[in-house]
Structure 1
Amino acid sequence: MTIRVVVADDQELVRSGFAMILDAQPGIEVVAEAADGAEAAQAVRLQGADVALLDVRMPGTDGIEACRAISTATDCRTIMLTTFDSDEYVYEALHAGASGFLLKDVKRDDLVHAVRVVAEGDSLLAPTVARRLVEEFRSRPRPAWAPSSAALDALTTRERETLLHLARGLSNAEIAAALTVSEHTVKTHVSNVLAKLGLRDRIQAVICAYETGLVTAGVPADAGLSRQALPLLGETSPPDPPRG
């Protein structure tokens, strides 16, 4: 199955460069390029794209608004691109529905890997971006609209443990090792967590874990669990391979 991609960036050379890299890969086709967010959202709808690669900062409709429009109206998944590893829009972009966040100096192979991972339904954050997200959680009070604890009560003990591990950025293999179960079982737990909480992907699961108070930035996610301390999000091993 071919992954259909829309690339949006107001800088033509940057946009064309990313498009050329992706279009040269087997199983990936760049179906449209766009100079702003409005063009990107329209192209996604017209072309039936699977993944949209969006620059965060574009004139007119920026990447965040485009991401929100795309996530609301289509099944297309979005990867945000930024020049800055301390971009203040990380938090907003992820809330808008972004499934990935990369720096523009990303290596060719990492860019291709990110598109494949996101197209498979998983999520991906550059390590420096993940650390920025944790900083945001530390600086922001828990929002009044955060889901109630009743939603978390619907989770089984194993599903709750899985969510805690997701919140620390562990891969499926690492969660399987921590829980002493198979990776297939972990995938089932992850799917159940997303379905029960009405979440789109692992990134939204991380946000939910922090905003419901299940995990607090700076406090070990395994508090109350009989397991060793887990690393902070952004200090973990690379993301799962494309097969998810």
Structure 2
Amino acid sequence: MPRWRVYARILRLLGVIGLGLTLAATFSLLERLRVPNGMERRQRWSRWFMERLSNALPFEVTVQGELPRTPMLWVGNHVSWTDIPLLGRLAPLSFLSKAEVRTWPVAGWLALKAGTLFIRRGAGDSQLIRRQMTQHLRNDLDLMIFPEGTTTDGHSLRTFHGRLMSSAIDAGVPVQPIAIRYERDGELDAIAPFVGDDDLLSHLLRLFTQPRGQVLIQVLAPISSVGKERAALAFEAQEAVRFALFGEIEEMRRAA
């Protein structure tokens, strides 16, 4: 790809990030002035920002399925940090993230001001985050979690952790499974995944020096949480996402 085009892509992204920082600074100012600035407003502005951020990324996005019209706990597979803007543009959403993200330069502050909930692994605060998630859902606010707990290369799906599903049961809201798949030249994209010890700058440069990849986002049928145990609910959501991502491939393998 011509170098000038790579630079143009990076400049566009930096411009969008600058816009996001301006919004975050505005939220901080409102907080200091004690001006009402609820989560619903943060979600609306976050969606507006995510749409512009996703447009600055080198992807062509296709969305299949019907978006929910009532608040739900969204759950999906996790491939890259790019999942967040690509999904965040679909609806006013808050995200659950690992606590380390809060310390990241720029991105951590943006996430905090957008209303992200943070969880520390193995820190014994699972009950606290469960109450926070439940209250979030009871306030008619959508929440997106990645119950695998980490990113993958897109070739497999890890176990969905049931403890993160408890908030949907407590709040009495359905679970909305989401499957996201990255492709390039008809195959699974080897560039888009953000895994292991990868760093953000190197990942961005790899993405921006390549032609646009394709992303398929499948909004699957909602799953009722009424009368279900969290492990069963997590497994049902996991299998819905697994079939959406790999169902046809697995059936072909069995037939062979």
TM-score by length of 2: 0.29
Q: Which has the higher contact order (CA 8 A, sep 6+)?
A: 2
Q: Which has the higher strand share?
A: 2
TM-score by length of 1: 0.30
